[in-house]
Amino acid sequence: MIFLEGGRVVDPATRVDGIRTVILDGGRIKEVREQAPSPGERASNEVVDCRGLLVLPGLVDLHVHLREPGEEGKETIATGTRAAAAGGVTTVVAMPNTKPVCDSASVARFVQARAREAGFARVLPAGAITRGSLGESLSDMAELKDAGCICVTDDGRPVMSAGVMRRALEYARDLGLPVMVHAEDLTLTGPGCMNEGSVATRLGLPGIPAAAEVAMVQRDLLLAEMTGAHLHVAHVSAAGTVRAIREARARGVRVTAEATPHHFTLTDEAVAGALASVPAFRQEDAPPVEPYDTHAKMSPPLRSESDRQAIVGALSDGIIDAIATDHAPHGPLEKDVEFERAANGVIGLETSLALTLALVRAGDLALPRAVERLSSGPARCFGLPYGTLATGAPADVVLVDPDRAWKVDPQRFHSRSRNSPFATWTLRGRVIRTYLEGRLVHRSEE
């Protein structure tokens, strides 16, 4: 057995917040208790001194692009899950926009087999809503579910046809699968490559209005209401989306939602090279980037300060259930090009926890709530038995030094890609150890 002794255990699912000893046994949580290990227990077990550390349930990330199969130069299941372990993430939902798309049992099974081989994190595949994620004909969701997919999504693009979406929701509802949506009306996006607004005007870049997201979310909420299906809204970027979800929930629509660290930390000012108005970061902690830095380009785009604040508020009041990274690795071929031509996406697995703790330090989010949004919140979205230290749960545990400052150096990331907008930032909160089912899968070198 392993005894994690003397840390501040925060497990929102069981409402624990205090100094406790966590006991891991045979890959499961045996007990979380107040007493320290007895001399006899010390003599015959491994005891880890956790004084000064947070002891948290392993984090659950509902939105990760692992790129394998097909784009192993950007990331592999092994490197992506190694990055997850370094970030304290023990469960990841793998997006299906691989090459080929995960629209068949064979791809879903391949992803899980590779993840088991690597052994760094639990990988749950998401299947495509439509074949090839082309938005036309439905995938065989029953086959995907049978092969281990825990939700369906065409992430990276929307299902533009409302008729197709309606059938998808009906089919998924009957199978008990949540439908995760990348909500974007492409006719409003047009050639846009950043948020529509004064910053885009100043930079001379074509904009994407917030309405491109909000209109599609409203459509999907109506369809979810009509069908009774479970809609999960990915990467919420706009205040209007938060409002729409709040209203829908109040009338009983089955909807859950996630937001990313980049959307709750940055605004479209980052594209102009200015430091976003993030009170949690002092100027010297977060030096300005170059204007037109493609590491500030993703879909949906960084929005305005009022959108950012709406997301932070929704994380606090629970309208947004989960923090998910949308970890999207790209290489220099896609990123070292003109802004308009650059690929969308940033990596996030190794910075997500520290950026969340910045919200806590800023007083925007209480610590237990922050932990909830990273663990049991996302688990609950998809009905997963993870993200808790409850007795009998898989022993996924992360030890965190909440005050340890570290400088983000993408060269030192475990991820195969380096496209982080937070390079050179000084963050606080370092993952010291990560356990997956009782096995040590990450240990910080410092």
Q: Least distance to Zn ion from the beta carbon of 212, Å?
A: 13
Question: Could you tell me the smallest distance in angstroms from the CB atom of residue 326 to ligand DOR?
Answer: 6
Q: How far is the CB of 300 from Zn ion (least distance, A)?
A: 7
CB of 264 within 8 A of CB of 330?
no
Q: Cβ closer to ligand DOR: 49 or 336? A: 336
154-162, 206-214, 313-321, 348-356 -> range binding Zn ion (CB under 5 A): 154-162
Map the footprint of Zn ion across residues 177-196, applying CB under 5 A. 182
What is the C-alpha to C-alpha distance for residues 291 and 423, in angstroms, rounded to an integer? 15
Stretch that binds Zn ion, among 13-21, 44-52, 76-84, 174-182 (CB under 5 A): 174-182
Among residues 298 and 359, whose Cβ is nearest to Zn ion?
298
Contact at 8 Å (CB) between 87 and 350?
yes
Residues found near ligand DOR in the complex (CB under 6 A): 65, 97, 155-156, 182, 298-299, 326, 328, 344-345
Cα Rg, the chain, nearest whole Å? 21
Least Cβ distance, residue 441 to Zn ion (angstroms): 27
Contact of residue 184 among Zn ion, ligand DOR, none (CB under 5-8 Å per partner type): none
Closest approach of ligand DOR to the CB of residue 27, in Å: 32
Catalytic residue among 61, 220, 326, 401: 326
Q: Indicate the residue among 61 and 437 with the shorter CB distance to ligand DOR.
A: 61
Q: Least separation, in Å, of the C-beta of 155 and ligand DOR? A: 5
155 binds Zn ion (CB under 5 A): yes
Residue 433 interacts, among ligand DOR, Zn ion, none and using kind-specific CB cut-offs from 5 to 8 Å, with none
Catalytic residue at 285?
Answer: no
**Residues, the chain:** 446
Q: Is the CB of 194 or the CB of 360 nearer to ligand DOR?
A: 194
Q: Which is nearer to ligand DOR, 286 or 343 (CB)?
A: 343
Q: Which is nearer to ligand DOR, 168 or 441 (CB)?
A: 168
**Closer residue to ligand DOR, CB minimum distance, 20 or 65:** 65
Supply the minimum distance, in Å, between the C-beta of residue 245 and ligand DOR. 18
Closest CA to 258 of 64, 396, 11, 34: 64
Identity of the residue, 180 or 272, whose beta carbon is nearer to Zn ion in the bound complex? 180
**Residues with Cβ within 8 Å of residue 15, at least 6 apart in sequence:** none
CB of 170 to ligand DOR, least distance (A): 24
Token digits of residue 297: 């380009």
Residues with catalytic annotation? 326
* Residues at the interface with Zn ion (CB under 5 A): 155, 182
